[in-house]
Structure 1
Amino acid sequence: MPIKTQKMIGQVVFIMLAFYFDGLMKWSFLNNMNKGTMSIVPQLMLMVLVMLTTRLDSRRTILVYGIVFGVIYDSYYFGIIGLYTVLLPLILVGIDHYKFLFTKTSVGYETSIYFLSLTALETGVFLLEKLFKLASADIGDFITYILGPTLLWNIIVFFILYVPFANLSDWLVKYRRGTK
């Protein structure tokens, strides 16, 4: 099996493990914290997808990852195909479109991209839920009780996991010279 195929399989496994740990984190840690009005949504899968997007060169691969994992996320958490299926590929292609502005990935760059992606994703999901009458909260409650705690939790987790995830992402994207 060519090294490129092995690396792509590794990328998919990396994203799936992040998706699994999203659910595990939600179930084990956050169920106790989400009992009141506050709601925290862990987004490890988005973190991994953002890190891979900043390193991958193929927009087609990025788009496929966004659609496939958007469908998986929607089918597992929402039961409605469309929220993440639409928003995730749009965000990832947007990141890919503007990554040429930065010459090299860095902690600050990836933190800001992840922060903006997370804000856009959660706001987009909220607006689509409001559009389809799936959410009853107003915008002030959304910002205070969902978006704020979600951003805080995920940025803390991002800083804790940045070094191992960045190193693994770099390793999964780089191929031997001449086989790219």
Structure 2
Amino acid sequence: MNVKTRKITGQVILVLVAFYLDGLMKWAFLNNMNTGEIMIVPQLMLMVLVMLSMRISTRRQLILYGVVFGLIYDSYYFGLIGLYTVLLPLAMVGVDHFKFLFVKANMGYEISIYFLALTFIQSGIYVLERLLQQTSVNIMDFITFTLGPTLLWNIIVFFILYIPLANLSDWLVKYRRDSK
């Protein structure tokens, strides 16, 4: 197995571990906090995908990751195929467009792009659920009780996990210049 194949396999394993940790975080921590009206949605998989997207140069690979992991996320967590399958590749393409605006990726740029991608995903899910009549929550309640707490929780987790995930993402993507 050559270096490129090993690095891509490592990227897929990292996203799958983040996918698993999303469910574990929800089960372990957030079940006690998601009582009443407030709903927090952990998005560690999206965080890892955004960090990898900032470092991966091929748009085809980003769209493939978005479709595959969106389909896995939909089939496991929602049961309604289509929400993440559509929105995740769109978010990955958006991240690909934004990353060329920056000279070098750093924490400030990556957190702003993650914030935008998370807002896009959560708002898109709300809009699609309203169109499919899966929810009856109005927009102000969605912003107050779901979007705000979700953004706050995920930004705190981003600050905690940024350095290890950034180093791991750099290592998993660098196979062209050096085989570190």
Using structure 1 for the length normalisation, give the TM-score.
0.97
- Tell me, in whole angstroms, the C-alpha distance in 1 between the residues paired with 2:52 and 2:176: 18
* Percent identity of paired positions between Structure 1 and Structure 2: 67
1:16 matched to 2:3? The reply is: no
Shift of 1:177: 3.1
1:120 maps to what in 2?
120
2:143 maps to what in 1?
143
2:61 maps to what in 1?
61
* Greater Cα offset, 90-99 or 17-26: 90-99
1:104 maps to what in 2?
104
- Tell me, in whole angstroms, the C-alpha distance in 1 between the residues paired with 2:178 and 2:28: 45
Q: Deviations over 1:137-179 (max 9, x none)?
A: 0000000000000000000000000000000000000015388
Q: Deviations over 1:67-119 (max 9, x none)?
A: 00000000011111100000000010111023111111000000000001000
What secondary structure, in the 3-state scheme, does the structure 2 residue paired with 1:101 have?
A: coil
- Tell me, in whole angstroms, the C-alpha distance in 2 between the residues paired with 1:103 and 1:89: 24
**How many residues are paired up?**
179
2:37 maps to what in 1?
37
RMSD of aligned residue pairs (Cα, Å): 1.0
- Tell me, in whole angstroms, the C-alpha distance in 2 between the residues paired with 1:143 and 1:30: 18
1:7 maps to what in 2?
7
- Tell me, in whole angstroms, the C-alpha distance in 2 between the residues paired with 1:136 and 1:74: 20
Structure 2 CA distance for partners of 1:32 and 1:71, relative to 1, 3 Å: same
1:129 maps to what in 2?
129
1:156 maps to what in 2?
156
Return structure 1 stretches of 4+ with deviation > 6 angstroms: none
Using structure 2 for the length normalisation, give the TM-score.
0.97
- Tell me, in whole angstroms, the C-alpha distance in 2 between the residues paired with 1:111 and 1:176: 26
Structure 1 spans left out of the alignment, 5+ residues:
none
- Tell me, in whole angstroms, the C-alpha distance in 1 between the residues paired with 2:85 and 2:146: 21
Q: Deviations over 1:45-83 (max 9, x none)?
A: 000000000000111110000000000000011111100
Contact preservation (8 Å) 2:98, 2:113: no
| Structure 1 letter corresponding to 2:109 | Y
- Tell me, in whole angstroms, the C-alpha distance in 2 between the residues paired with 1:63 and 1:178: 25
